[in-house]
Amino acid sequence: MSRLVIKVGGRVARDSATHVLDIVAEGHDVCVVHGAGPQISAEMERAGIPVEFVGGRRVTTREGLEVVRRSFQHVNDELCAAIGERAVGMFGDEAGLQVDPVPELGLVGEAQPAPLPALARLLDDAKIPVVATVTAGLNVNADSAAAAIASGLGADRLLFLTDVDGLILGGEVVDHIDLDRAEELMASGTLEGGIIPKLSAAIAAARSGVPTYIGRTEVPV
């Protein structure tokens, strides 16, 4: 039996539940980490709070953090309901996520690999942890959190399930990329938007020995 960490984006959170259950049915232990990006941006716009990103990561003010937490809670509730009774929803601090502040982005934290006994116990009990990566005081990018959690759990694989095909270079989807090439791309400054934190997280996971996939939900395990 393998242990998988599945990060699902806010746009595909509800639709990903079926895929998560299919993977569980195949006999894998699964921890789900989710984002809430579109929901947060929509709520911020309704509240008149500026939406700003730097390097694909959200700048978060104190006022914005309240919106972030509410949006994460909403997505977490929906995803847990879709997965079913084995799902256990929690915020990042409840999961034991270790975070270093990133002051230049406001109330934002960078997740750090560390042992996660609370999540490990849930997996041992055949539960499906569903982690919203915000903490009591910091907004944590779900991509970096997923990599840290995968490392902390000693996962066999990290999957990023998104609404895009994956890493696109020269108009084509890249089926496979090694660690050296990924690091070259990150250093080149040619990448833009949400792929930056995802590829950065994939690099972090690979450095800790966790193979990673980035792409749509229709992916074999």
Question: What is the total residue count of the chain?
Answer: 221
pLDDT score recorded for residue 219: 47
> Domain extents for the chain?
3-216
pLDDT score recorded for residue 173: 67
Q: What angle do CA 90, 92, 97 make, to 5 degrees?
A: 130
pLDDT exceeding 90 applies to what percent of the chain?
57
pLDDT exceeding 70 applies to what percent of the chain?
87
The CATH architecture one would assign to domain 3-216 is 3-Layer(aba) Sandwich (3.40)
What b/e readout covers 154-190, taking b as 16+ CB neighbours within 10 angstroms? ebbbbbbbbebebbeeeeeebeebeeeebeebbeeee
pLDDT score recorded for residue 19: 84
Residue 207 — pLDDT band, cuts 50, 70, 90?
Answer: confident
pLDDT tens digits, residue range 19-46?
888 888 889 999 999 999 999 999 999 9
Six token digits for residue 199: 């590829």
pLDDT score recorded for residue 12: 76
Residue 67 CB-half CA count within 13 A: 22
Predicted structure pTM score: 0.87
**String of DSSP letters for 191-203:** --TTHHHHHHHHH
Q: What residues contact residue 81 under an 8 Å CB cut-off, 6+ apart?
A: 87
Q: Residue range 144-157: average pLDDT?
A: 94
pLDDT tens digits, residue range 128-143?
999 999 998 999 999 9
Q: Residue range 59-74: average pLDDT?
A: 95
The alpha carbon of residue 132 and the mean position of all alpha carbons in its chain are separated, in whole angstroms, by: 9
> Residues 165, 171, 172, 178: what is their CA dihedral angle, to the nearest 10 degrees?
-90
218, pLDDT greater than 60: no
Residue 189 — pLDDT band, cuts 50, 70, 90?
Answer: confident
Residue bearing tokens 């509410």: 70
pLDDT tens digits, residue range 89-126?
999 999 999 999 999 999 999 999 999 999 999 999 99
